């Protein structure tokens, strides 16, 4: 049966807004903002114009009232002069006349663009001039000594009628101004009301936009949370699968290493038992040949040569068997086997190999891994390091065993090992198959330190 393939979690489908929605939303927001600015500015301008107009109309109304007040002041100054004959009373008379002229000029200036009110101003000016003429006539008669004439003129109702005409003209002008003021005040109120409702509408729109934003933001956050949860689930699943595959590969690597060592041990036993027996039998046969009587000297020389080649073959067999399976490890244990390995390396390298070996508790397979690690490291030192000294240590360390081989050679870059060199990879596979960790610290010109940490048995 084909093993079931673990299902991969489906990734969330993120819906994206149509390409036209974002520009449309931006355009609507811009239009709304421009409309808000234009409406606010228009409301402000209208209210400002109305307030300016109200101020001007109030000034015009004061000017109209000034006309009446000036005429009254002139009339009072006239009577004081007629009663006393003192020239001092003519000063207020002249000042009131000047004030009257200024008030009429202000009215004309204010109403220059309003034909209706300008006509009322001219009418008021005519009535005022008539009253001023009547007052001036009386003063003139007094100055001429025609006392009967000015007294007769004063006894008539001409002055009162002229003054009443001025008051009526003033009342018409002020009434018209008040109606205009009332209209403009109503316009100000309407503008303020429009501004009020505009502000309310904008506040409501702002609240709605804020609520819409909160809703969208909440939906986005929920979508992000769901997406993050799905990603986390997928990541956990992938990590679980990676962990399973890593464990399987580690177990497979361990199985391969054990199988290889078992095969090497089997070959070593075969060579030791079969080949060793054959070579031993051949030596016995040679010993028997030596005891043959009357053997020629040439034959003895040939026997000596065969025995020498046979001894060389026995040495080669012994070296091959030791490389396949170190007998010292099985017969004497880890530490003596490592001591012998260090002595052989020192003899082969011609440099001191300092061994710091302490008793440790490891399984048989782990001891073989330690032996192979030290053996491979010393082989690399012999081939590449050009070292002057080498240090080998095996020490217990808090429930674990630390194995290190260090040299002071030329070093190398661990990340730049060329393809085809699998010694370091083989070390790592061996160590990790026992649940250990391997680290290599080296750089050009700084030597190399190979360190492994394995759990105790």
Instruction: Tell me the pLDDT tens digit for each residue of 135-184.
Output: 888 888 888 878 777 777 777 777 778 888 888 888 887 888 778 778 77
Q: Tell me: the pLDDT tens digits for 309-358?
A: 888 888 787 778 777 777 778 888 899 999 989 998 999 899 999 999 99
Inform me whether the pLDDT recorded for 277 exceeds 90: no
**Cβ atoms of 121 and 112 closer than 8 Å:** no
Q: Tell me: the pLDDT tens digits for 181-202?
A: 787 778 778 877 887 788 788 7
Q: List the one residue out of 231, 317, 206 whose CA is nearest residue 10.
A: 231
CA-CA-CA-CA torsion sign (321, 327, 330, 335): negative
Alpha helices in 144-157 (DSSP H): 147-155
Integer Cα distance of 275 and 272 in angstroms: 6
pLDDT for the residue numbered 422 = 66
Inform me whether the pLDDT recorded for 394 exceeds 50: yes
pLDDT for the residue numbered 442 = 92
Average pLDDT over residues 61-77: 82
Instruction: Indicate the pairing of strand 448-455 with strand 400-407.
Output: antiparallel
Integer Cα distance of 172 and 120 in angstroms: 8
Give the start-to-end residue ranges of the domains of the chain: 23-222, 331-455
Integer Cα distance of 15 and 267 in angstroms: 66
pLDDT for the residue numbered 32 = 67
Q: How confident is the model at residue 404 (pLDDT cuts 50, 70, 90)?
A: very high
Inform me whether the pLDDT recorded for 25 exceeds 70: no
Residue 337 CB contacts under 8 Å (≥ 6 apart), including other chains: 326, 328, 329, 371
pLDDT for the residue numbered 150 = 79
Integer Cα distance of 374 and 137 in angstroms: 143
Window from 67-71, 331-335, 378-382, 439-443 with minimum mean pLDDT: 67-71
Q: How confident is the model at residue 56 (pLDDT cuts 50, 70, 90)?
A: low
Mean pLDDT for all residues in the chain: 80
| Higher-pLDDT residue of 450, 216 | 450
pLDDT for the residue numbered 28 = 63
**Whole-Å CA distances, 204 to 34, 194, 199, 216, 314:** 17, 15, 8, 18, 104
Q: How confident is the model at residue 402 (pLDDT cuts 50, 70, 90)?
A: very high
Both tokens of 77, joined, read 């100054």
pLDDT for the residue numbered 338 = 92
Integer Cα distance of 406 and 393 in angstroms: 9
| Higher-pLDDT residue of 453, 35 | 453
**Cβ atoms of 68 and 166 closer than 8 Å:** yes
Long-range contacts of 287-294 (CB under 8 A, 24+ apart): none
Give me the percent of the chain exceeding a pLDDT of 70: 84
Window from 4-13, 59-68, 414-423 with minimum mean pLDDT: 4-13
End-to-end alpha-carbon separation of the chain, Å?
38
Integer Cα distance of 112 and 39 in angstroms: 31
| Higher-pLDDT residue of 421, 19 | 421
CATH T-level fold of 23-222? 1.20.120
| Higher-pLDDT residue of 346, 302 | 346
**Edge-to-edge strand ranges of the sheet holding 390-397:** 353-357, 390-397, 400-407, 448-455, 437-442
Integer Cα distance of 128 and 105 in angstroms: 13
Query: Same topology for domains 23-222 and 331-455, yes or no?
Result: no
The CATH architecture assigned to 331-455 reads: 2-Layer Sandwich (3.30)
Q: How confident is the model at residue 41 (pLDDT cuts 50, 70, 90)?
A: confident
């Amino acid at each position: 049966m084909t093993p079931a393939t673990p299902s991969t979690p489906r990734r969330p489908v993120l819906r994206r807004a149509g390409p036209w929605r974002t520009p449309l939303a931006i355009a609507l927001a811009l239009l709304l903002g421009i409309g808000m600015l234009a409406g606010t500015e228009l409301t402000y301008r209208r209210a400002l114009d109305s307030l300016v107009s109200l101020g001007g109309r109030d000034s015009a109304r004061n000017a109209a009232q000034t006309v009446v007040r000036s005429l009254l002041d002139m009339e009072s100054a006239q009577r004081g002069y007629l009663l006393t004959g003192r020239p001092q009373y003519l000063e207020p008379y002249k000042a009131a006349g000047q004030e009257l002229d200024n008030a009429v000029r202000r009215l004309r200036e204010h109403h220059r663009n309003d034909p209706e009110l300008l006509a009322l101003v001219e009418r008021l000016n005519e009535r005022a001039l008539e009253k001023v003429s009547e007052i001036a006539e009386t003063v003139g008669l007094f100055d001429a000594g025609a006392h009967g004439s000015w007294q007769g003129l004063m006894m008539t109702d001409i002055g009162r009628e002229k003054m009443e005409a001025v008051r009526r003209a003033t009342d018409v002008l002020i009434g018209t101004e008040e109606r205009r003021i009332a209209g403009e005040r109503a316009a100000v109120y309407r503008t303020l009301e429009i501004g009020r409702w505009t502000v309310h509408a904008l506040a409501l729109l702002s609240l709605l936009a804020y609520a819409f934003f909160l809703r969208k933001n909440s939906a986005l956050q929920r979508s992000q949370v769901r997406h993050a949860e799905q990603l986390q689930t997928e990541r956990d699943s992938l990590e679980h699968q990676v962990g399973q595959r890593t464990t399987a590969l580690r177990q497979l690597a361990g199985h391969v290493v054990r199988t290889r060592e078992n095969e090497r041990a089997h070959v070593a036993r075969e060579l030791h038992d079969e080949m060793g027996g054959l070579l031993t039998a051949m030596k016995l046969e040679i010993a028997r040949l030596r005891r043959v009587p009357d053997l020629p000297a040439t034959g003895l020389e040939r026997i000596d040569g065969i025995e020498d080649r046979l001894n060389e073959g026995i040495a080669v067999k012994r070296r091959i068997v030791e490389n396949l399976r170190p007998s010292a490890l099985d017969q004497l244990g880890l530490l003596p086997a490592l001591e012998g390995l260090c002595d052989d390396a020192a003899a082969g390298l011609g440099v001191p190999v300092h061994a710091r070996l302490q008793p440790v508790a490891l399984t048989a397979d782990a001891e073989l891994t330690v032996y192979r690690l030290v053996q491979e490291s010393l082989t690399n030192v012999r081939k590449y390091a050009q070292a002057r000294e080498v240090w080998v240590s095996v020490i217990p360390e808090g429930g674990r065993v630390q194995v290190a081989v260090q040299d002071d050679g030329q070093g190398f870059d661990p990340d730049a090992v060329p393809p085809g060199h699998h010694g370091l990879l083989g070390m790592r596979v061996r160590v990790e198959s026992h649940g250990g960790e391997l680290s290599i610290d080296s750089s050009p010109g700084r030597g190399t330190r190979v360190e492994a940490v394995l759990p105790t048995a």
